[in-house]
Every structure is written in structure tokens, then in C-alpha cells.
Structure 1
Amino acid sequence: MTFSKAFFDLQLQFAQNVVRLSGLPLAQVLLDYTNLYVRFGLGRAFDRDHPVWLQYLAGLQHTDDIDAWTYPFFLTRQCDVPPPSIVATFGCFSYALSTDGYIRLHFQNAEATGRSPLDIECLAARMEELRSLFQHVDCAQPAMLRVAGVSWLYNIPAYRRLFPPSYLASVRVAGPRFRNLPLWGQFLDRHGAVRQGMVAPFLARLSCQTDMDDIARCFPLQALAVEAPVSDFQDFYESQRVV
């Protein structure tokens, strides 16, 4: 995915509003309330003293237009940023092992036909990818007992239909995810352009904020957390299998 300048501009606009509402320094807000650190390819340690991060902040001191500085800086750093600790990938899905003992699912657009990866025409392919993924888990990670995920995508029926009922029944609003694409990704189409229909309500809510109490509610969709036993996934995909 090629991220557009508008995606960065939107995050910077949000950050400037957080500065206005919180009184926090801009450098801290950019680290804690945007996805910039990850997009610059710096990992997920969020080390405020990382030399590349410091280089970015130094450039802010010499410009009155942070939008004009940020996107060209990103282009010099542009690289694929895989989710952490990926074990295996099957089409649009991959999984990682978390330190808290869960299988963590990740999704990306790897649909080769040019269709949306969540189109009904792609449903069988996505289900087969997930069936293969959980066969791999069964063979390679037999001690792992539960699956967890966090994403705005769990708000979307076309995504939800890919998962077992017990997983969906566990849904809850996740904690703050301002640093992460599982929240910011809702503003992107599959080509990396900003969905203008999502931006307008976001900015309207943001302009009405008078404090930080409900800042997360400005986002049209919340990041949702889900979890269920591995066995529920294995049973579900085998039951859906077309022979």
C-alpha cells in the first residue's frame, strides 16, 4: 500500500488539536497520538530518543508547515512495515505469537485480482486462507490455546463474516490505539488514499471538542478487541470447507 500525503496531513491535524486540548508538547503528541513513528519504519518500541525520530523532530524546528516537512520525510523512509513477530502468512492473513500467550491475527490487502479483498467474490479465498492458517497453527503451535485480534475492521460485516461466532461474541472496545494502524486504517481505502466520507465526521467531532475526555470518540469507528479458543477457529473453517 502506498500511503497518501492526505493520510499524514489528517494525523497532523489531529495532533495539533490534541496539543490544543491537552497542552502537551507537539513532539510528545506526535509520538503518542499518531502512527508516524511506525510509518517511518522505526518499529514499535516508541523510543523518543531514536536517532531517526530525533532527525524528524529537528526538521520541525525549521519549518512553519509541518505537513510539508512530514510527508517528504516519510518518503525518504518509505518501506514495508510488517506486523511484529509474524510466524506465517497465508494470502491476506498472517499470525504472530504474542508475549501474553495468544495467537494474534493480522490482515493486509494481498488480493491479486484488483477486487476489494472483502468482496463477496473473494469470500471463499479468504476462508481458505484462514483454514490453512489454522492448520499451520495446529501443527506448529499446538500449545497456543487462544486467538486475539484488535482492529477497526471488526466493525465491518464483510470482515466479521470470516470468523466464528464465539470470536465475534467477545467483541469489546479496545483501549486507546492512537499509535496504531488498527485505528487509523479506517481512513484508508485499499490503495492508501483517504476516504473523504470518513474524514468529514471525524473533523466535525474534533472541532467541537473542549477537552481530552472523549477524544477517542471522534473517530467514526473504534478499534475493537476480540478473542476465542483456537479450537473454535479450526472447527469453524473445517465446517465451512467446500469439498
Structure 2
Amino acid sequence: MAYAKEFFDLQIYFARKIAVLANLKLETALLDYTNFYVRLVGGRDFDPHHPRWMAYIAGLKDHPDLGAWTYHVYTQRPHLDRPDSVIATFGCFSYALGEPGQIRLHFHNDDHSLQGPLSDERMGLRLSELAALVAHVRAEQPSARQIAGVSWLYHLPTYKRLFPPPYTAHAMVASNRFRNMPLWGQFLNRHGGVRKSAAAAFLQRVDSQASADNPAQCFPLLPLATSAPVDVFHDFYQSQLATRF
């Protein structure tokens, strides 16, 4: 899925505000307070000396319209919907290896139905995908004992219901996620456009920000981090699928 230019404009607005409040160079704010490195360079090493990042930053001097330049660079890169660390994908869900004994869960909207990926009509399919993912983890990653995730989506009842209650019951705010989609994804709709109501609330908070002490308060929703044992997931999906089918 390709993202709309407005998604990048939103992040530029935020980065510019933070650069002023924190007395940072704009290039530093773009690296540390946007998702641009992942989108324009790829990977998550956030190396300011990476040739692709340096070329992007150099181009800022020659392009007065920062949004147009950023979007141009973006459109020249492959649109990788999932991290290159992903081990396996099951519909809208995938996983990567995390800390020792842990796998990390990712969600990406790969459902092109009219109802939407988290709708009641698609709930059964999402549960089946997650059950298949957990079965794969149990078979192929025997050392994995825990499943972990970080996302703004854990605020949504329609997303939370896809997981065992112990997994979401003790979710905690994940701080300093300005570079990552678990924070910025809340502004996107399922077509890659910007959700106007969320963006408007965000911009209003950015305009009201008087210091760089707590820039996270500009975001309507903060990403939540959570985890639970693999066996808890397995038992939950066995029960859910037996009941539904």
C-alpha cells in the first residue's frame, strides 16, 4: 500500500515544530521524530550517514517545498508493507523474532473487502489467521515462549477482541516511538489516505505545544506494548474457532 502525500506533510509539520521548540536542526528532527527513515531508506538502524538518507537531506536545500521533495523520494522507493525481519505472514498478520524467547506480532491491512479488516464480517477470518500464525510459531520457533506487540490499535475494541484477554489486559504505553508506525499509523485509513479527524486533532495539539518536554501529548493515541505466553494464544484460538465453526 502506498501512503498519501498528506501523511508525510503531517509528519513534517510535527518535525518543524519540535525543531523549533527543542532547538534542533530540522534534519535531526526529521530523523528522530518522523517515520521517514523507514519509509525512505528502509531498515531500522536509523543511520544518519546512510547514503540514501544523506541524499534525501541534501535535497532539502534545493527543494523549498519539503513535502513535495519528501514525497518524490518516497515514490522512488519500493513500498515495503512489512519489515524485512518478518519470518512468516498469515493474511493481515505476520511475525518477526524479538528478544530471546519472544516473537513480535505485526498487523498490516491486507484485506481488500468492502467491510474492512476489523469488521464483524471479517472477524472469523482474522481469528483463523492468528490461529495459523500461532501454530506456525509453535512448530517452527520452539524456543519462543512469548508473543509481544506494540501498536496504537490496542486501543480499539474491534482489534482487542482478536486476542486473548490476558494479552491486552495489562498493556502499557510504549514511549519514544516517534520513528515508528505503531505511533503514526493512527492517522492512516485502510486505503493509505489520512484520517481527517485524527489529523485535525493532532495538528491542533501541535500548534498548542509550548515546549519540547512532552511531544507525545500531541498524539490522540499512544502505542501500547503488551505480551503473553504463546500457550495462552493457542488455547484462546482453539476455543474461539471451536465455538465459531
Q: TM-score, normalised by structure 1?
A: 0.97
Q: Does 1:160 align with 2:160?
A: yes
**Pairs within 5 Å for 1:88-127:** 88-127=88-127
What is the DSSP-based 3-state SS (H/G/I as helix, E as strand, rest coil) of the residue aligned with 1:240? helix
Q: Does 1:204 align with 2:194?
A: no
Question: CA separation of 1:100/1:25 partners in 2, compared to 1, >3 Å: closer, same or farther?
Answer: farther
Supply the distance in 2 between the matched residues of 1:85 and 1:77 (Cα, whole angstroms): 18
Supply the distance in 2 between the matched residues of 1:99 and 1:44 (Cα, whole angstroms): 16
Quote how far apart the aligned CAs of 1:100 are.
4.0
What is the DSSP-based 3-state SS (H/G/I as helix, E as strand, rest coil) of the residue aligned with 2:212? coil
Deviations 1:74-116 (A, max 9, x none): 1112422422421111111111111343110001111142431
Question: CA separation of 1:25/1:101 partners in 2, compared to 1, >3 Å: closer, same or farther?
Answer: farther
Q: CA RMSD in A?
A: 1.2
The amino acid across from 2:197 in the alignment is G
Quote how far apart the aligned CAs of 1:68 are.
2.0
Aligned to 1:133: 133
Give the fraction of aligned pairs with identical amino acids, expressed as a percent.
Answer: 51
What is the DSSP-based 3-state SS (H/G/I as helix, E as strand, rest coil) of the residue aligned with 1:213? coil
Query: Mind listing any 5+ residue stretches in structure 1 that lack a counterpart?
Result: none
Q: Which moved more, 1:152-161 or 1:55-64?
A: 55-64
Aligned to 1:180: 180
Whether the 8 Å contact between 1:38 and 1:81 is mirrored in structure 2 is no
Supply the distance in 2 between the matched residues of 1:125 and 1:41 (Cα, whole angstroms): 33
Aligned to 1:26: 26
Deviations 1:10-50 (A, max 9, x none): 00000000011100111111111000111114211111001
The amino acid across from 2:115 in the alignment is R
Query: Mind listing any 5+ residue stretches in structure 2 that lack a counterpart?
Result: none
What is the DSSP-based 3-state SS (H/G/I as helix, E as strand, rest coil) of the residue aligned with 2:82? coil
Supply the distance in 1 between the matched residues of 2:38 and 2:108 (Cα, whole angstroms): 16
Q: Does 1:45 align with 2:45?
A: yes
Aligned to 1:59: 59
What is the DSSP-based 3-state SS (H/G/I as helix, E as strand, rest coil) of the residue aligned with 2:228? strand
Question: CA separation of 1:100/1:176 partners in 2, compared to 1, >3 Å: closer, same or farther?
Answer: farther
Supply the distance in 2 between the matched residues of 1:99 and 1:9 (Cα, whole angstroms): 34
The amino acid across from 2:98 in the alignment is S
The amino acid across from 1:210 in the alignment is A
Q: TM-score, normalised by structure 2?
A: 0.96
Supply the distance in 1 between the matched residues of 2:112 and 2:11 (Cα, whole angstroms): 29
